[in-house]
Amino acid sequence: MRGYGAERSGQIEYRFNAHGYRGEELDPAARRRIVVCGCSHTLGVGVAEEDAWPARLRARYAEHAGLRSSEVNLVNLAQGAASNDYVARTMLAQLPRVRADLAVVLFTNRGRAERWDGDAVFGLGPWTLEALCANPELSETRPILRAAQHHYALTSDAQERLDTLKNMLLVQLLCRAQGVPALTAWIEHASLDAPEMRASPLLAPLVDALDRSRVCDVSPLDDDVLVDRAADGSHAGPRSHALFAERLFERVLALEPAPDRLAA
């Protein structure tokens, strides 16, 4: 299909597997398996599948291991407009099924969230706030706007930081329990060392609990990485994805027990 969400350039082909994820199916017989998760920046909105950072990272991983890219199964669990709640929940559900040799998770902006009303899960973000502000009366008839109204009335910047840190810790602990070498990154990675994080008696212990050797201090939106734009004019372009993948791979090589897991 051509077009995904708000990306309507008509230039990009999107391939989805039987489970609704962009990319190939899980291959239990593959020599190696990489699982990635995140939002539209991991799904690769606005760029060809082979140009998105997960595919670029897979190619570097395979080359280093003396394998063909086709021998490394790339399982991309990302979803456009996903929240960090989605990322943690999806990794909890899917990582034990994948039996991955490597996991790379790119956490998204902290202002996104999920709400469950008993019948459906609603993904919330700036777009729902904009719709709510434009037409507040619609909250009476549109459940997603009603969920947004309730959520953002109760949350705060500190709460959003807290929720993100808990999700990052949860994924780190999950990967450790599964014995999967894992690297995490965050669109807002500079926030980890922000004064408000370090000064908070609630947030500082969570930052300290993170294994920072497994948190990559780079984002596809960093000034020195974002060198071009995708077909939608908003997301990172092919060269930016390539730069981000290379920075991630440098950190993958430093992971323990990465050397023997990467050996041919």
Residue 29, token pair as written in the block: 């017989």
Cα→Cα distances 178→20, 34, 99, 239, Å: 24, 14, 8, 33
**Residues 6+ away with beta carbon under 8 Å from 164:** 84, 107, 110, 186, 188
pLDDT of residue 242: 98
pLDDT digits (tens, 9 = 90+) for 129-149: 888 788 877 777 788 888 888
CA–CA separation, 144 and 154 (whole Å): 16
pTM, rounded to two decimals: 0.92
For all residues of the chain together, what is the average pLDDT? 92
Residue carrying the six token digits 């390539």: 242
pLDDT of residue 138: 73
Q: Which amino acid is at 261?
A: R
Residue carrying the six token digits 């929720």: 163
Q: Go through the domains of the chain in sequence order and give each one's CATH number.
A: 32-119+164-262 (3.40.50.1110)
Q: Which amino acid is at 112?
A: R
